[in-house]
Amino acid sequence: MLTATTLTTTTAATAAATTVTTAAAGVTAEVDGGPTVRLSKEEAGKGGSITVTGRGWRPRALLTLLICGQNMIGGTNSCANGDGRAVTTDAQGAFHKSLPVAEPPKPCPCVVHVSTVTGAAAAVDAAFQVAGHPVAPLPKESTGGRLTVLSPPRLTGSSGLLTWFGAPPQRELTVTIGNLGPTPAKDPVFHVGTSHGVFAPQWEERQWRGTVPAGKRAEVRLPVELAAGAHGDYLIALKYGGKVLAEQPWGVGRPWGVTLFWVLLCLVIPMVVFRVGMAIVNRVRPRRTGAGGGVGRGRGARAAGGSAALPWFTADSAPSATASPSATASPSSTPTERPTSKGSA
């Protein structure tokens, strides 16, 4: 059970986690025990530039630098994403980057938002004034309870075999929510955003069925699904009442089954085309018959069937197969009988 006093203390600690100090040389923002961000100017107009310096970040980490309106309570949708910059920290976790001043889509109060792209989530917001940009009060908190995150979010679940072949990766975003408001939050509607690289997140509504009483906590599980074939480093964000409550990185493996399928397809299709082409060639080419083939068949017939009549002999005058070789070779040596005429002796 979580008392209202405990939740109030937690909120106060969270609010005090980011400290912003204004000095003559600029603005410095830091997270207690974490990274720091320093701006060379506290105010500049569109078309100008400021220098952002950071320390205490994770070594060799990829960071994004954005100018956001409304204190970024609406997530990166309130930031000038097209004019943002990316920077990689050095071996000591420090960086130094020039950032062009652009007008965000939301009115000020504005901040320079520095956050990690991959790995463990970390972010720092430094107050900054865009000269000439409209200023408007922050939106009021929605009724139905004031929810806050009490523990780091986590993604549960695993990918199946179909994901290896390009099916949409799916997980469950699990987070412990506490209600700081005086009224219970019944069936709260959250927004789950997925972003890839430096692109703005795509938000989808997720309604959680249940009630978080005032001063109590509850574990919330919300489904998360990416597009088919998605792979790489993604960032999952949870938003409620226009405020981003938590962010969790998600590294999605490449669907190697799709790659294997295309490799096999590139091998099978040429083979099939070759076989079909050879079959067509065998059908359409003319069949050649020559004298050599007939002679060959004749010789084969004589070998199989013995003797055969030669074309220059008639059936009556063909030499006998039983004639002796000497008789056949020397027809003159064989006496010839002449027919006697009738009445002769």
Q: Check if the beta carbon of residue 175 is closer than 8 Å to that of residue 212.
A: no
pLDDT tops 70 at residue 8: no
Mean pLDDT of 105-112: 93
pLDDT tops 50 at residue 326: no
- Counting residues of the chain whose pLDDT is more than 90, the rounded percentage is 29
> Which has more confidence, 184 or 85?
85
pLDDT digits (tens, 9 = 90+) for 70-103: 888 767 788 999 999 999 999 999 999 999 999 9
pLDDT tops 80 at residue 159: no
pLDDT tops 80 at residue 247: yes
pLDDT-derived band at 3 (thresholds 50, 70, 90) equals very low
pLDDT-derived band at 55 (thresholds 50, 70, 90) equals very high
pLDDT of residue 111: 94
Predicted structure pTM score: 0.46
The three-state DSSP-derived secondary structure of the chain is CCCHHHHHHHHHHHHCCEEEEEECCEEEEEECCCCEEEECCCEEECCCEEEEEEECCCCCCEEEEEEECHHHCCHHHHECHHHCEEEECCCCCCEEEEEECCCCCCCECEEEEEEECCCCCCEEEEEEEEECCCECCCCCCCCCCCEEECCCCEEECCCCHHHHCCCCCEEEEEEEEEECCCCCEECCEEEEEEEECCCCCEEEEEECCCEECCCCEEEEEEEEECCCCCCEEEEEEEEECCEEEEEEEEEECCCHHHHHHHHHHHHHHHHHHHHHHHHHHHHHCCCCCCHHHHHHHHHHHHHHHCCCCCCCCCCCCCCCCCCCHHHHHCHHHCCCCCCCCCCCC
